[in-house]
Structure 1
């Protein structure tokens, strides 16, 4: 009888834990550079009531697992290994991890070559069958299939860019900085910082291959340095962070062909009186599509813009990030909080977001993480 009661208690406890995990637990994953004692990928549980990030796990990876992406099922997580160098080409790697459905903790599955060095960005198509990896150093994008068990297959396709831009130090060759999947899952947009181009490819999700779209690319201001792209929730507009000139390019988007038409280029993200050195990094739009945010790494702030019905931007102001070199940042899926990875101060700072004005208020919550680069969240578990 004792064993029966004990077993029943354990069953009820597990059921309760599962119910809690499915309905109340939000998990945050942080990718880092392998410096200053970083262990690799860090896992936290976010307490929405208190605004705190509580540590759950650190996953050992000494190859700078800097940028992360979640599988659409949230059962798997993928990281680029930016410092990996294998083979004659010194290619980087991308790793797959299984996500525990109850705790959110990670278990390593496998790694594959990215066919180019310096991988800095990974994205997953909405079917969960294909991963796209941007190789900054190699100037290329690798396309890898994802198996049903979450493991990565060897690359089935890749594209190599050529050319250069006017900035002799930063644009001496192609530098692919991101590969962003369109909201309709038909196209992937590849930002080349080195040549000031945004390439557009049609996705064959079944075969994990790509081909140039009808309009294969769009060119932006010379020397601007395309970095990251964000789509408006309505799919009609796209916004490009221009790293080298600290600005935003605004596009309208043809949903049928995937083509982008430039509305405005070089929208400044810095105050007129700011004269120090700066480069922009990440760009995101809130879930309602009313506000756009872009991180500036010299000003150590997030620029804030209101988005008009025509897709154009109006400056709202900026918010200091309470840390140095804000790299990636995340707006939580409910639009209530913003998490900023301050790479050079080894902190993630948390802000409350005013959903009417778009402005941010520092919550006073800051956690210590060595060289944080990327912050992503898995919704309520």
Structure 2
């Protein structure tokens, strides 16, 4: 049987660095749990990247809005076009499950932008612009509206917009014909918890929300009531830290393993990564380990597709660190020396 090949896309900031390459592409050595640099893409300040659900296109945040790329056979990227989001630089983006719309989260201006996407992957016109408003408990950095994540429910009915300044996730119904949004509900988090990222289980029945300031993950069941409204019920709250940990920690990453059996998060300040196993029946999380990453501010962390290795993207120490993972024993051990990469933001593994 032919071994599956993977590449990894890593988005980085370019401001203050000598490099103008905001996306780096690596060949993945699955057997040894390491990367080899393959290519670099010239783009400014790629805060985040996402891949379309049809696996043909990659979209990235840039200073100028959003940019689209065709994914070539060897994993290299060929630029299609770019489009303005009519606002400040975004921090997160995703597509709906039909790949007809692109959603962009605005941290700095609390703006949610929806853009059309063509069958050729090109980004079209803006169909919706919504500014989140209000004040949290204290009018400080984290207590004004900051949209940090936008993601559709897996049934493609509702868009979830995590607002870490207002401590809630706003739920919008998507009109698939015109790309407009209608607010239908919200999921309220604990005050000053800062919901940062969210992910749905493979079957769409469970929602996981990581909270930056209170360092925990909330797990919800998702269903639809008789009036076609979304219903979310909280079933678990679990820490992203050990009971002994550094003060001033901030939870960051939220990534499933490729087989959806594990969930991975990270903690800045504590500079650790935590991996949970997921009960496939109940959706509940069980901590496997929480261990240091040998880097500063692990903004993102992900298991390799074989679940035997892990990589941490250490934003402040300009590095990626690699680990061998043993899920049965609940340990990870550093695997070789760090790789230098300026201000890494996020990582995606892609099967060729």
TM above 0.5 = yes
2:234 counterpart of 1:262: yes
TM-score by length of structure 2 reads 0.90
TM normalised by structure 1 equals 0.83
The aligned counterpart of 1:133 is 104
Runs (4+) of structure 1 exceeding 6 A deviation are none
Q: How does 1:106-255 map to 2 (within 5 A)?
A: 106-213=77-184, 216-255=185-224
Aligned residues: 345
Contact 1:339 1:375 in 2 (8 A): no
- Shift of the 79–124 alpha-carbon distance from structure 1 to 2, 3 Å rule, reads same
Match of 2:323 among 338, 344, 351: 351
Q: Identify unmatched segments of 5+ residues in structure 2.
A: none
Q: Does 1:50 align with 2:19?
A: no
Distance between the aligned counterparts of 1:357 and 1:131, measured in 2? Answer: 41
Out of 305-314 and 227-236, give the one that drifted further: 305-314
RMSD between superposed Cα atoms in Å: 2.2
* Greater helix fraction, Structure 1 or Structure 2: 1
Whole-Å separation in 2 of the counterparts to 1:194 and 1:312: 27
SS at match of 2:36: strand
Find the partner of 1:293 among 245, 264, 285: 264
| Corresponding residue of 1:5 | none
Q: Residues of 2 paired with 1:179 and 1:255: CA distance? A: 20
The verdict on how the C-alpha distance between 1:205 and 1:373 changes in structure 2, with shifts beyond 3 A counting, is: same
The match for 2:6 is 26
Tell me whether 47-56 or 25-34 shows the greater mean CA deviation: 47-56
| Bigger radius of gyration | 1
Distance 1:376 1:358, change over 3 A: farther
Residue 230 of structure 2: SS of its match in structure 1? coil
Deviation at 1:365, TM superposition (A): 5.4
User: Structure 1 unaligned runs (5+)?
Assistant: 1-19, 85-91
**Is contact 2:246–2:269 with CA below 8 Å preserved after alignment?**
no
